[in-house]
Amino acid sequence: MIQRIQTLYLVLVAVVIGVLPFVFPLWQDESGEHKIFFMQETTTMLLFTLSFTLAVISVFGYKKRQNQFVLNRLNIILNLILLGLFVYRSLTLSGEDTTSEKGIGIFLPIVAVVLLVLANRAIKKDEELVKSVDRLR
């Protein structure tokens, strides 16, 4: 059902991945004038969009807990790939003229992974509760 705790976690994942990248930049220069958001890079935009889509599908897939669990695992892998891409980009930006600072947008996949793990834990508890009730019948 929609009022379960894992739904709250999944909605928070959708907000973190779908809304906050528009607000927080991925990189910015020292002065803070030039900010790079996720929309300026095709790969990051595609990965953020795919992660948001998986989170929304998982929210509305509450009747099939196993599918929801698998979708969340795929979303965790996708966010780890996104985080790896950010680490790679931050390590290979050494040849630029001005020094850039990492924005808070780089850490959004970490928050999403933590929330997805919490959601999977709650889904697993629900699944165990349903199996224990089925044994009593």
Answer for the pair 16, 132: CB distance below 8 angstroms, yes or no. no
Domain residue extents for the chain: 5-16+39-131
List C-alpha distances in Å: 104 to 3, 14, 40, 66.
30, 17, 16, 33
Average pLDDT taken over every residue of the chain:
83
pLDDT in tens, 29-72: 666 666 777 777 788 889 999 999 999 999 998 788 889 999 99
How many CA atoms are closer than 13 Å to the CA of 113, on its beta-carbon side? 14
Please give, one letter per residue, the 3-state secondary structure of 66-103. HHHHHHHHHHHHHHHHHHHHHHHHHHCCCCCCCCEEEC
For residue 93, the model assigns a pLDDT of: 65
- Cα gap 43→82, rounded to integer Å: 9
Three-class SS state of 37: coil
Answer for the pair 35, 23: CB distance below 8 angstroms, yes or no. no
Higher pLDDT, 128 or 38: 128
| Residue 90 confidence (pLDDT) above 70 | yes
Give the predicted TM-score (pTM) of the model: 0.83
| Residue 83 confidence (pLDDT) above 80 | yes
For residue 95, the model assigns a pLDDT of: 55
